[in-house]
Structure 1
Amino acid sequence: MLLPGALETLLGLQEAMDRSFNTGFFDSATTSRGVNPPVNIFEKDGEMVLVAELPGVKKEDLNIEVKGNTLRLAGERTIKYGENTSYHRVERDSSKFDRTVRLPVNVEADKVKAEYKDGLLLLTLPRAEADKPKQITIQ
């Protein structure tokens, strides 16, 4: 049996833990602010590839930066239904995000390619020449 106020305390603790996990504090490879767009990062044909889900975000509202092995993805989703609107449920809301991801290799920033279609961002991130393995010949 829960004591009076114990349920509120437990719910408050759960909310605080959820917030701390969403800040990136526990993840040494990623930091973030706001709503985190889900991303997949993988290597294909010697290049890193990032796919991010960004439904409702206009490409002109995206900011992508790459330096060394760090990628920053920031933007804003704006949802407007006009004036004189009566909301019955709001689960999708306007939001900003700012996410920094550390990649396992340095990237050739001048050669990054970005495509955006149907709310999916595809970044092709070529590995920096200095990070590519070199074949050593024994003489």
Structure 2
Amino acid sequence: MQLTRWNPTRQLGSRTLFPALMDDFFTSMPSRSAAVRDFIPSVDIYEKDEKVFFEAELPGFKKEDLKVDVQGKIITLSGERKEETIEGENRFRKERRYGKFQRSFHLGFEADSDMVEAKYENGILTVIVARPEEEKVKQIQIH
């Protein structure tokens, strides 16, 4: 017995003008709630020259819709991509993610907010956190 995926356009019979287009449209279109609910940006974290770098992939965001908070040993990246609507639109597919996100990371040391810098360029939010002097590795000379 061969299983066939249910397709709502088959119920329309000969009234469907574009059966192949409609098959693809209904079977691969994500729901609106999934598009809003599932937005979690990818973040790379690495250390270089006594600084911790966070690089978050956030294409399509406006700089003013992003926020970086530092509190003690926690750094939090957050933001919101608002859905733009076009009056009189006839949308065929909606796959881009919209909505709010928030990601928090444990630094392992107390961060001084004056030693944190952030920039947003080409869809990448880069946050650089300098280690405090007492956290930096000190090399001891051997006598």
State if a TM-score over 0.5 links the two structures.
Answer: yes
1:102 and 2:93 are equivalent in the alignment:
no
Query: C-alpha separation between the residues in 1 aligned to 2:103 and 2:97?
Result: 18
- Normalised by the length of structure 1, the TM-score is 0.67
Which ranges in structure 2 are unaligned for 5 or more consecutive residues?
1-36
User: How far off is 1:38 after superposition?
Assistant: 0.5
| Residue of structure 1 in register with 2:87 after alignment | 83
Query: C-alpha separation between the residues in 2 aligned to 1:115 and 1:123?
Result: 7
Which of 115, 121, 125 matches 2:129? 125
- Normalised by the length of structure 2, the TM-score is 0.66
Max Rg structure = 2
CA RMSD in angstroms, aligned pairs only: 2.2
Letter in 1 for 2:103: R
| Residue of structure 1 in register with 2:57 after alignment | 53
- Which SS does the other structure have where 1:64 is aligned? strand
Query: C-alpha separation between the residues in 2 aligned to 1:44 and 1:76?
Result: 29
Instruction: Calculate percent identity across the aligned residue pairs.
Output: 41
| Residue of structure 2 in register with 1:63 after alignment | 67
- Which SS does the other structure have where 2:94 is aligned? coil
Question: Greater helix share, 1 or 2?
Answer: 2
Which ranges in structure 1 are unaligned for 5 or more consecutive residues?
1-32
Letter in 2 for 1:36: I
Query: C-alpha separation between the residues in 2 aligned to 1:137 and 1:50?
Result: 33
- Which SS does the other structure have where 1:130 is aligned? helix
Equivalent residue pairs, number: 107
User: How far off is 1:94 after superposition?
Assistant: 2.0
Q: Residue by residue, what CA displacement relative to the aligned partner does 1:51-82 show, whole Å, maximum 9, x if unpaired?
A: 00111111101111012221111100123141
User: How far off is 1:123 after superposition?
Assistant: 1.0
| Residue of structure 2 in register with 1:39 after alignment | 43
User: How far off is 1:86 after superposition?
Assistant: 1.4
User: How far off is 1:99 after superposition?
Assistant: 1.2
| Residue of structure 2 in register with 1:72 after alignment | 76
Contact 1:34 1:97 in 2 (8 A): no
